[in-house]
Amino acid sequence: EPEVTQTPSHQVTQMGQEVILRCVPISNHLYFYWYRQILGQKVEFLVSFYNNEISEKSEIFDDQFSVERPDGSNFTLKIRSTKLEDSAMYFCASSDYRAGDTEAFFGQGTRLTVV
């Protein structure tokens, strides 16, 4: 069964460092998303991406965040200068909007720890 793959599963970084979280969406999907879940809190939408541009973003997704689809398979989330409060589980998801009856398939997440 096709699945969304995220790497690494766990990343530790120092405050102020840049970090890139990587995702391989399901191959025929067109919409891509990032969500995050701070420990003990709700899963929160960050951004959606379609046709090589951001289609929607939340207020959390400020200038320190960026997304990119550098090639035909990867979808990345970059955090330019990490803060302690960026520590969270980050989920990538993808969906086939063309199906008209869509659902988002989630990866297993990357746990980011900022120290």
The residues of the shown chain that bind other proteins, judged by CB under 8 A, are: 4, 31, 33, 35, 41-45, 48, 55-56, 58, 91, 93, 95, 97, 100-109
Smallest gap, in angstroms, from Cβ of residue 39 to other proteins? Answer: 12
Instruction: Report the SS3 class of residue 82.
Output: coil
When the beta carbons of 18 and 56 are compared against other proteins, the nearer one is 56
When the beta carbons of 19 and 46 are compared against other proteins, the nearer one is 46
Using CB atoms within 10 A of its CB, is residue 60 exposed (0-12), middle (13-18) or buried (19+)? middle
Instruction: Report the SS3 class of residue 10.
Output: strand
Distances (CA, A) of 79 to 20, 39, 101: 6, 18, 32
Smallest gap, in angstroms, from Cβ of residue 55 to other proteins? Answer: 7
Measured between its terminal Cα atoms, the distance across the chain in Å is 36
Smallest gap, in angstroms, from Cβ of residue 78 to other proteins? Answer: 20
When the beta carbons of 33 and 65 are compared against other proteins, the nearer one is 33
